[in-house]
Amino acid sequence: MQVVIDNFGLLLRGLRITLSLSALIICFGTLLGVLGGIGLLYGPRWLRAALRVYVDIARGTPLLVQLFLIFYGLPVVGIGIDGYQAVVVGLSLFAAAHISEIVRGAVGSVPKGQWDAARGLGLTFVPIMRWVILPQAIPAALPPWTNTAIEMVKGTSLAYLLSVSDLLFSTQNVVERTGDAMPLYIAAALLYFIVNFAISRLVLWLEQRLRYAT
C-alpha cells in the first residue's frame, strides 16, 4: 500500500474533480427532474409528449453514447464544449430523465383530495405544489432519488474517457507510471464507496427527520 500513500495527494485531487462533477450533476439533474416530472403530469399535451420522448430516449440509450454525442456532436453545430462540461451536461440530462419519472410517480401518488382541499382554500397551482403536494411526495421520492444520485457519482468515472482528471483518470495515470495496479484501484473503489455511503446515510437521516416531522 506504499504506492497509495505516496500518491494519495494525486488521488485526492482527482476525488475533488469527481465531487465537483457529482455535485453539479445531482443539483442540475434534480432541478430539471422536478420540473420534468411536474411537466409530465400537468403540462400541456405538447409538453407532455416532448418530455415523454426525451425521458424514453435518455433512459433507453447507453449513457456513454449520450456523452460521446454531446462531446463530439455539439462542436459540429458550432457549440464548443470541453470534457468537463460534456460530462456535466450529459449526466445531468440523464439524471433528469430518471428523476422526472421518480417525481411523476411520487407526485401522482398524492391523493386527489389534497388538491381539492387546497383549491377549496383558494390556493393556485404553484402554492399548492409548493406547500401541499411536494412535501407529501418527497418521502416517497427520496429512496429512488438516492439510487439515482449514487449511480451518477459512479457515472462520473466515464469522464476518464473524455480525459477529465477525475478520480479514475488520476488513478489510471498513477497505475501507468508505477505499474502497481491492484492497491491503487482498491483505493479508488474505497473512495467511491465512501462518497456514496455518505450520500445514502445523509438521505436516510433526512428521511427519518421527515418521518418525525410528519
Whole-number pLDDT of residue 198: 96
Grid coordinates belonging to 78: 458550432
Whole-number pLDDT of residue 175: 94
- Which residues 6+ apart lie within 8 Å of 167 measured at CB? 11, 14, 15, 17, 18, 156, 157, 188, 191, 192
Whole-number pLDDT of residue 86: 96
Whole-number pLDDT of residue 171: 94
Whole-number pLDDT of residue 187: 95
Which residue, 101, 62, 56, 65, is CA-closest to 86?
65
Q: What is the extent of the structural domain holding 36?
A: 2-213
User: pTM of this prediction?
Assistant: 0.93
- Distance CA(29)–CA(95), nearest Å, equals 5
As a residue count, the chain comes to 214
**Domain with 73 in it: what CATH number?**
1.10.3720.10
Q: Are 97 and 151 in contact (CB under 8 A)?
A: no
Grid coordinates belonging to 7: 500518491
Which residue, 50, 66, 48, is CA-closest to 58?
66
Whole-number pLDDT of residue 119: 87
Residue 26 identity: I
Whole-number pLDDT of residue 121: 85
Mean pLDDT for back-to-back runs of 10 residues, the chain (214 residues): 88 96 97 97 96 96 95 92 96 97 95 87 89 91 95 95 93 92 95 96 88 64
| Structural domain count of the chain | 1
